[in-house]
Amino acid sequence: MDASTITNTVWTIDPMHSEVQFKVKHLMVSTVTGSFSQFEGQVEMPDDNFEAATITFSADIDSISTGNAQRDEHLKSSDFFDAEQFPKLTFASTQFKKTGEDTYELAGDLSLHGVTKPVILKAEYGGQMQDFYGQTKAGFEVSGTIKRKEFGLTWDGVTEAGGVVVSDDVRLVMNIQLTKQA
């Protein structure tokens, strides 16, 4: 088969059935979970081969929520994400490699707070199913850890006892449902 006969398959993130979360240690004794409510993404690949996929994703920083309005405003401020100057988190894949029957390694460039760094995430394929409307859906759980300070998120607080307020390690957990486009 030559390149002219290959058709691209496009899938888009279904935001109503997806979630994008992060988890960070607070005072090194508990974990705070946050999420982004406004995001979009696309997977494009030749035919139906996920392993050859090109993946793009973005999230609106202003949509961050940790369940605490005061903390959310602090995270949006120049101490952390600086949502006014850097309104988006973006990701563009460089490789999506199968590592097991339903597992993949997702490599790409993550841009956050004006800094772009390569990251490697794990992806677990949940399968495909047709919904009530005849649309084909696919599911993935994507996870990994980044160092927030590498992306210029360097605010630090220290307790009187010398303890760290916010960990440098941030876990990313995304449950993504994709819709195959006609």
Q: Assign 4 a pLDDT band (cuts: 50, 70, 90).
A: low
Which two three-digit tokens encode residue 35? 């999420």
Whichever domain contains 146, its CATH number is: 2.40.128.110
Residues 6+ positions from 44 with CB-CB distance below 8 Å: 8, 9, 10, 11, 53, 54
Q: What is the mean pLDDT of residues 116-141?
A: 97
Number of domains in the chain: 1
| Structural domain range at position 58 | 3-180
Helix boundaries (H) for the chain: 69-76
Whether the CB-CB separation of 147 and 125 falls below 8 Å is answered with: no
Per-residue CA distances from 14 to 17, 78, 142 (Å): 6, 31, 15
Q: What is the mean pLDDT of residues 80-92?
A: 96
Backbone angles phi, psi at 14, to 5 degrees: -90, 100
pTM, two decimals, is 0.89
- Average pLDDT score, the chain: 91
Q: What distance in Å separates the CA atoms of residue 30 and residue 115, rounded to the nearest whole number?
A: 28
pLDDT confidence of residue 158: 53
Report pLDDT digits (tens) over 22-59. Answer: 999 876 777 899 999 999 999 999 877 898 999 999 99
